[in-house]
Structure 1
Amino acid sequence: MSRRLEWGLFLARLILGGTMLAHGIQKFKMLDLVVNMFTENFGLPSFFAYATAIVETVAGLALILGLFVQYSAALLGLVMVGAIVTVKFSIGFFGNGQMPGYELDLALLGLAIVLTLGGSRLFAVSSLLKSNKK
């Protein structure tokens, strides 16, 4: 893989990981409100609120560290698909003035797809662990 491409994947990993980690932490800080929003506003079981907060936090941190990059990105991609399909699509691409649309979710999904397909080994803990096993 070219060095320039690997740097691009590394930056994508940090951007997606940092964004999702921040969103996960935010969900945990106001978990009661998030659970209520998932159940009352979106008609989803409360389990999805907890699962989303956990996946965003853990997978976001894993991406930043470079652990299980492709699996973490795939999980975050599923979260983005879930957000788009269950909540954001009916609001539209740009939103409705009260709630943002799915443009950010779609961009994050794009990063997740790129990382799921391509991985990212530059400065990744997984790469260090693999090289120590040799």
Structure 2
Amino acid sequence: MTNRYEIGSLILRLMLGITFFVHGFAKFHNGIGHVVGFFNSLGIPGFAAYVIATLEVLGGIALVLGIGTRIVSTLFAFDMLGAIFTARLKAGFMGGYEFELALLVISISLALTGSRFYAFDQLRARSKQAA
């Protein structure tokens, strides 16, 4: 029997995964060169734009599928900390970093608790127990 906690974690995992996937895909689709330039303007090496965009696309897919939820969520938390402290903090809360802060909190929650409902990780764990 699935409890409300697991359903809530599933909702958070799916929304976080979809959100990061869309943002990562947009970085590539709209021209990664623009993101590289933005990173350089912040004093961040441009190659980091490729790392972040790839993390967001692949990590988003992984979360939707329920693969490595705790690890991916931890990486997303660091991604959001970087975004807040390098690019968004000066703009203040409203219109600044409130969105990144919400993603950070969801990421931390999933990193601490995981999400097993409708997750490939859970299927893999069950198959190991059956073997």
TM category, shorter: over 0.9
Deviations 1:57-100 (A, max 9, x none): 111111000000000000001000000000100111123xxxxx
1:128 aligns with 2:123: yes
Match of 2:92 in 1: 92
Shift of 1:132: 1.2
Please list every run of at least 4 consecutive aligned residues from structure 1 whose deviation after the TM superposition is greater than 3 angstroms.
none
TM-score by structure 1 length? Answer: 0.91
- Aligned letter for 1:122? F
User: How far, CA to CA, are the matches of 1:106 and 1:48 in structure 2?
Assistant: 21
Root-mean-square deviation (CA, aligned residues, Å) is: 1.3
Aligned to 1:18: 18
Q: How far 1:47 moved relative to its partner?
A: 2.0
Identity among equivalent positions (%) equals 41
Structure 1 residue corresponding to 2:114, chosen from 119, 123, 130: 119
2:35 counterpart residue number? 34
- With structure 2 as the length reference, what TM-score do the two structures score? 0.93
Cα distance in 2 between the residues matched to 1:71 and 1:57? 15
How many residues are paired up? 128
The gaps in structure 1 that reach 5 residues or longer are 96-100
- Unaligned 5+ residue runs, structure 2? none
Name the structure where helix makes up a greater proportion of residues: 2
- Give distance in 1, aligned partners of 2:47 and 2:83: 14
